């Protein structure tokens, strides 16, 4: 069976739920492309995720109810994986789970590749970006913040995971 066309599926689904105006997914005619600047083994890798990951026992990055303009944030990559969790609800909850962080935030898997010298190392922070209502906010606020923080961390290449 071919892959799911989510743009068509969601349009039909939300029309059936009574939403008149279909969501306009971002679309561009051009695709920016930067070649790898040096051997991967010399590159520091930075992770970016939409998984809304937080640290157990610490205040969440966002107020669950009230924080409408959820800004991107960063967490230490050295946080033990077993202390990371997510309350993200936008995934296929009938088929799978988000209980294994490595299935969407591969810190341990990338660390293994660093141990094998496939990459140099992992950046000290990973970046979390919320799937915004506003494409403008993602482009004008969140993405520049992520870029700035990755430059501060000396990131050479970025691995992004869309949950």
Query: How many residues bind to other proteins according to rule CB under 8 A?
Result: 82
- Candidates 52-60, 61-69, 73-81 — which segment interacts with other proteins by CB under 8 A? 61-69
Candidate residues 58, 131, 152, 154; the one interacting with other proteins per rule CB under 8 A: 131
Q: In the 8-state DSSP scheme, what is residue 43?
A: P
Candidate residues 1, 21, 59, 82; the one interacting with other proteins per rule CB under 8 A: 1
- Candidates 53-61, 74-82, 148-156 — which segment interacts with other proteins by CB under 8 A? 148-156
- As a three-state string, the secondary structure of 105-157 is CCHHHHHHHHHCCCCCEECCEEEECCCCCCHHHHHHHHHHHHHHHHHHCCCCE
Site for other proteins in 20-49 (CB under 8 A): 25-28, 30-37, 40, 43, 46, 48
Regarding 3 and contact with other proteins (CB under 8 A), the answer is: yes
Q: In the 8-state DSSP scheme, what is residue 78?
A: T
Q: Residues 112, 47: contact at Cβ < 8 Å?
A: no
- How far out from the chain centre does Cα 140 lie? 17
Residue 105 Cβ, how far from other proteins at the closest point, in Å? 8
Q: Which of 99, 97, 65 is nearest to 81 (CA)?
A: 99
Site for other proteins in 71-130 (CB under 8 A): 89-100, 102-106, 109-110, 112-113, 118-119, 129
């Amino acid at each position: 069976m071919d892959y799911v066309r989510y743009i068509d599926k969601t349009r039909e689904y939300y029309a059936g739920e009574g939403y008149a105006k279909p969501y306009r997914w971002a679309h561009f005619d051009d695709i920016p492309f930067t070649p790898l600047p040096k051997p991967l083994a010399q590159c520091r890798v930075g992770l970016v995720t939409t998984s809304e990951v937080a640290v157990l026992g610490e205040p969440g990055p966002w107020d669950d109810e009230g924080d409408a303009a959820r800004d991107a944030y960063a967490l230490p990559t050295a946080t033990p994986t077993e202390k990371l969790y997510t309350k993200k609800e936008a995934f296929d909850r009938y088929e799978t789970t988000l209980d294994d962080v490595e299935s969407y935030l591969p810190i341990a898997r990338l660390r293994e590749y660093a141990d094998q010298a496939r990459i140099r190392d992992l950046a000290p922070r990973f970046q979390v970006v919320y799937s915004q209502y506003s494409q403008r906010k993602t482009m004008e606020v969140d993405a520049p913040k992520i870029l700035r923080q990755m430059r501060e961390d000396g990131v050479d290449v970025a691995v992004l995971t869309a949950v």
